[in-house]
Structure 1
Amino acid sequence: MRFIVSIRRLSLVGLLFISWSCNKFVDINADPNNPVTPVLELLLPATQVSMAGSLRDVNQGTSIVMQHLYSSTTSRNFQDGTDYQQSWNALYTQTLNDIEIIIREGTRLQRWDYVAIAKLQKAYIYSLMVDMWGDIPYTDAAKGNTISDPAFESGATIYDKLFVLIDEGLADAAKGNFAIQPTTADIIYRGDKAAWIRMGNSLKLKLFNQIRLVQPDKAKAGIAALLSSNAPLITTNAQDFAFRFGTTETPANRHPWHRAEYQAGKSYYMSQGFIERLFNTDDPRIRYYFYRQTSNYTVGFTPTGNGYFGRYTGDATASPNDNALKATVGVYPAGGLYDNCPINNIPATNVFVTNSGATSAPKVVTNSDGAGSGVFPFITNAMVKFILAEAALTMGTTGDPKQLFQDGITAQLNSVNTISTTSGNSAPVLPAATITAFVANRTAQYDAADAAGKLNAVMTQKYIALYGNGMEAYNDYRRTGLPVLPAPIAPLNVFPLRLTYSITELSTNATISDKADQLQTAQQTTPVFWDK
């Protein structure tokens, strides 16, 4: 693992987004024979760009496993050592290495603002890596190329260290001036100290909730301490910890789903089961999440006959020449098109998914359709509300779970509106009255449910809201088993409880190479430490 010691000028940072179509990262490495002093205001945005880019394949794979998307192999629970190799390698050799440089150099210069941000980003990334892979290198990985074979540590041990790291980052934020200049050096929060403190506390909340099955006392006490101390959390959509993509095709900085789908050849089918979950429950997000390229395409695995042509999870049928027929991603979260076309077979009882005002005609999409200015939601206001609702229902922590359930749905619907109307995207907003009525409808279902049904309602609405972040949906499902997902039609393996390791790591790291095959096989069936 070698450090990246120089990157291009800040004016280019907005253009350093990953070239999604070819799955390659922009080369921002300096000549190792001519090292230069790291420049913090250039390194920080590079870590944020590479964080979003490095998580691409992980997010794609978990979105398929969680039936938000479909691919022919992953949806059948098949994975191998190349699926997430790029994410693993890039996180360690690029993103986390740059973060360690910021922590080291920022500490030397007493630039605690940069150090605080770097530590909080580090804690977030490593927590996700534990959630996805379980045991991973941590302490040794921070030493860069001085350690050629970093030792793997248990996920539980790393989580304990991450709670300490978050507290360190929050303490660093309180030291001296928090003065990121230019503010654009912080792509996510523009140097807003209060925003980073809210992010750190919200990350702690998420991790405490994550461990509630295996460390219930610690989880409950940790959440109680956050709430009783009025520690600031993410409480508005404007405070979301998220990565916003741009609008340009060349150089590429659009949302990766837009780049993959708004072209002649497409990478995915949409998940037919997820489409039908929204269609059959009268959920207005269906027009924002998906765009139909045809109005009526009926085949064996598309029974609705209304143009929502996707694939059921685990369908092993060969793919015909259907790129111009399959449904594709919509305006949220990918910055594609809003589906304002009439839908066949809408139930007469529908209130929210209707054909009122639907006057457009379907079209085959190209890269000139939609701006691509979507979002990668890492930790959002909606997520925080749903986490607090789950904690209140399962651990009795402070808060009204019903109100938090309502607030979570409302927050996410407003996030859909935000992406629909910014940065070149063009979609009508969901009116406030519609949002209120929809939330009331879901609340009535919540009120009618027993205790188990209330938790199912919370986790189902969170699952729908997490479209665009398959990693958190994957975490929730392994922890709660909710919502119930259809079994794959023709599975090739059992549901994966961890992601496969990078084959490069397994073959070159001397601490594990002699047992690489056993480790890789065990990933499919071994729960992460918090999954009981």
Structure 2
Amino acid sequence: MKKANHYSHILKNLRSYLGLALVGVFTISCEKFVDINDDPNNPTEPTLNLLLPATQLSLVGHFSGSSATGGLNGGATTVSQHVASGNLNRWSQTGNTFSTPWAGFYTETIPDLETIISVGTEQEEWGYVAIAKLQKAYLYSIMVDVWGDIPYSQAGGGYPNPAFENGQKIYDSLFDLIDEGLSDIGKGFSVTSSADLFFQGSAEKWSRMGKSLKLKLLNQIRLVDAVRAETGIKALIADADGLIDDNRHDFTFQYGTTVSPNARHPWFVSWYNTGRGGYVSMPLIDRLKAQDDPRLRYYIFRMDERRGLANSTNGEGYYGRYPGDGTASPADLNTRAIVGIYPAGGLYDNGTIPSLTEQHVYLNNDGAVSGTTNNSFKVALFTNGDGNGAGILPLITNFMVKFIRAEAALTLNTGEDAKQLLKDGVEAHLTLVNAVSASNGGQTIPPANINGFVYRIGEQFDAADAAGKMELLMMQKWIALYGNGVEAYNDYRRTGLPELADLLAPLDEYPMRFYYSETELTSNETVIAIRDEFQRKQQFTPVFWDVND
């Protein structure tokens, strides 16, 4: 890709951005710093406090894409059955499916992170260097998780044909990179708060993020290196106050409400318009109803309380699709159920759910409006207190860390209380749902209901055998990961849990990896000769940490 005049373009965009209290994702150019004049509006040297937020916007933008089915997250959300849209709903992918995030990471995010690391090291700006290294480690870990073998050591360094490297070796390098980032924090951390969109320049929160990232990666490799995973995780949990252990520490991107530049959650942008974003997942809806889970009202918003599958008029509004449904869409853009207030900042559904019985204690009709939803789509969209798009993208959170530690306690003998960690994880997520709902004008789950729901999870854990305990844990994590399909995709491949629904009409086998960008395979001379075989193997070749049959 030809690149020029990169820095002045970033500066221009970020001037308009930095005045916003909450931000969204906009495209950052992938050009190099080649200005040769002394104009202060066109600096010849990168200013780290402008370049850092550009990397964060780029990372989030290409991770999440522009819709519920865009970016890495959209594809993973589909194959994890959190939504039921697009070709991946039938397990079909092409060389164009993920070409945009692939190109974005390699031509925008990674080169800019390398610039921060290089220039920041020269200037001894260790806070910026630390953040860039931790973001780099996070990004590459996700790329290995979804693509397997990828360019690494030669990426972002001017190599026209960077070699693809073994994912396991890259992971080994990432552990070292995390340690470097954590060490750099201790050298002196000074970062302009407005330059850091995640943590506003907090050294403590970045330290917790780095250690929690390390925890996540250690748990990810437990099937292929149990000794390293157990030893490393024990060391991390022994480090008092080292990990993310409160929702205030979450590594989460907060979207805003402005339309120009568009700062809103990409799910909101794609679903809350006349084109919609696809179909919601019936397996998700069915499980939340069956498990008496109050999050259903936050995850899904019904636009027509009488609609059912295939746009029938004898349902109760939960009109989505089952995985693998390849039938043509009827004229249903105004009757489909859509994503709700969590995590997209959409609408909270307080309408009556007719099928609920007295057995539903926590998902109930207390205070519900009969006949329609109070937040009627036609009445409230963009006009009442909620539905403004100020949702979140949860990347590494308190609830995730609690679930990871619970899994490690069950599988690696780390000595922690798996039951308590499971309960803590569920409570942390319910609290997060409440926070997002309240900030977007929606209702909240009463404290007594949170306590009761969490207590019941503990009872179910006590009543389960070893396999049942793991199934309960991974089901609760899958439910909580709504909004981050990549982690759900990783969990399913690693554990086979929770069991996914059979596809109605699959077009391929379950994708063990995502397809590479076709542009990469037709331009990178290291793989051109083998590109067809190289690409096809992605569908059925597990990543290195996945040794399940």
TM-score range, shorter chain: over 0.9
Contact 1:501 1:520 in 2 (8 A): yes
Q: Tell me the percent identity.
A: 49
- Say which is worse superposed, 190-199 or 70-79, in terms of deviation: 70-79
TM-score relative to the length of structure 2: 0.92
**Residue 298 (structure 1) aligns with:** 308
Give the AA of the match of 2:123: L
- 1:370 matched to 2:384? The reply is no
Residue-by-residue CA offset, 1:376-399 (whole Å, 9 max, x unaligned): 000000000000000000011131
- Cα distance in 1, alignment partners of residues 511 and 530 from structure 2: 20
TM-score relative to the length of structure 1: 0.95
Cα drift, residue 227 of structure 1: 2.1
Cα drift, residue 513 of structure 1: 1.1
SS of 2:328's equivalent?
coil
SS of 2:7's equivalent?
coil
Number of matched residues?
Answer: 521
**Residue 22 (structure 1) aligns with:** none
123 and 78 in structure 1: CA distance in 2 versus 1, 3 angstrom threshold: same
Structure 2: where are the runs of 5+ without partners?
37-42, 65-70
- 1:8 matched to 2:41? The reply is no
RMSD: 1.8
**Residue 431 (structure 2) aligns with:** 414
**Residue 206 (structure 1) aligns with:** 216
Contact 1:72 1:316 in 2 (8 A): no
- 1:53 matched to 2:61? The reply is yes
**Residue 39 (structure 2) aligns with:** none
- 1:521 matched to 2:536? The reply is yes
SS of 1:376's equivalent?
strand
Give the AA of the match of 1:17: G
Contact 1:314 1:490 in 2 (8 A): yes
Paired residue for 2:234, among 193, 206, 224? 224
SS of 1:47's equivalent?
helix
Paired residue for 1:346, among 342, 353, 356? 356
**Residue 148 (structure 1) aligns with:** 160
- Say which is worse superposed, 257-266 or 353-362, in terms of deviation: 353-362
Structural mapping, 1:133-532, within 5 Å: 133-143=147-157, 146-176=158-188, 178-181=189-192, 183-230=193-240, 232-299=242-309, 305-359=315-369, 360-361=373-374, 362-364=376-378, 366=381, 370-422=387-439, 425-532=440-547
Cα drift, residue 491 of structure 1: 0.3
Cα drift, residue 13 of structure 1: 2.9
Residue-by-residue CA offset, 1:159-185 (whole Å, 9 max, x unaligned): 000000000000000002x1212x111
Give the AA of the match of 1:237: N
Contact 2:30 2:108 in 1 (8 A): no
**Residue 17 (structure 1) aligns with:** 24
- Cα distance in 2, alignment partners of residues 299 and 355 from structure 1: 22
Give the AA of the match of 2:191: I
- Cα distance in 2, alignment partners of residues 128 and 511 from structure 1: 23
Cα drift, residue 32 of structure 1: 4.6
**Residue 44 (structure 1) aligns with:** 52
Give the AA of the match of 2:420: Q
Cα drift, residue 302 of structure 1: 7.6
Structural mapping, 1:67-82, within 5 Å: 67-82=81-96
Cα drift, residue 344 of structure 1: 1.6
Contact 1:263 1:366 in 2 (8 A): no
379 and 530 in structure 1: CA distance in 2 versus 1, 3 angstrom threshold: same
Contact 2:35 2:44 in 1 (8 A): no
Contact 2:33 2:44 in 1 (8 A): no
SS of 1:269's equivalent?
coil
Residue-by-residue CA offset, 1:233-253 (whole Å, 9 max, x unaligned): 000000000110010122201
266 and 300 in structure 1: CA distance in 2 versus 1, 3 angstrom threshold: closer
- Cα distance in 2, alignment partners of residues 248 and 30 from structure 1: 29
Cα drift, residue 301 of structure 1: 8.6
225 and 30 in structure 1: CA distance in 2 versus 1, 3 angstrom threshold: closer
- Cα distance in 2, alignment partners of residues 262 and 475 from structure 1: 29
Contact 2:126 2:190 in 1 (8 A): no
- Cα distance in 2, alignment partners of residues 105 and 27 from structure 1: 19
154 and 468 in structure 1: CA distance in 2 versus 1, 3 angstrom threshold: same
Structure 1: where are the runs of 5+ without partners?
20-24
Residue-by-residue CA offset, 1:281-319 (whole Å, 9 max, x unaligned): 110000001100011113459898210000000011110
Give the AA of the match of 2:446: P
Contact 2:237 2:243 in 1 (8 A): no
- Cα distance in 2, alignment partners of residues 530 and 29 from structure 1: 35
- Cα distance in 1, alignment partners of residues 214 and 280 from structure 2: 33
Cα drift, residue 231 of structure 1: 6.3
SS of 2:319's equivalent?
coil
Residue-by-residue CA offset, 1:83-118 (whole Å, 9 max, x unaligned): 110001001111111111100000000000000000
Give the AA of the match of 1:198: R
517 and 28 in structure 1: CA distance in 2 versus 1, 3 angstrom threshold: closer
- Cα distance in 2, alignment partners of residues 331 and 244 from structure 1: 14
- Cα distance in 1, alignment partners of residues 312 and 171 from structure 2: 43
Contact 1:460 1:483 in 2 (8 A): yes
- 1:132 matched to 2:146? The reply is yes
- Cα distance in 2, alignment partners of residues 302 and 382 from structure 1: 38
Cα drift, residue 482 of structure 1: 0.3
Give the AA of the match of 1:98: D
SS of 2:331's equivalent?
coil
- Cα distance in 1, alignment partners of residues 28 and 143 from structure 2: 22
- Cα distance in 1, alignment partners of residues 207 and 313 from structure 2: 49
Contact 1:13 1:45 in 2 (8 A): no
Cα drift, residue 17 of structure 1: 3.5
220 and 31 in structure 1: CA distance in 2 versus 1, 3 angstrom threshold: closer
Give the AA of the match of 1:52: V
Cα drift, residue 353 of structure 1: 1.4
Contact 1:76 1:315 in 2 (8 A): yes
SS of 1:495's equivalent?
coil
SS of 1:270's equivalent?
coil
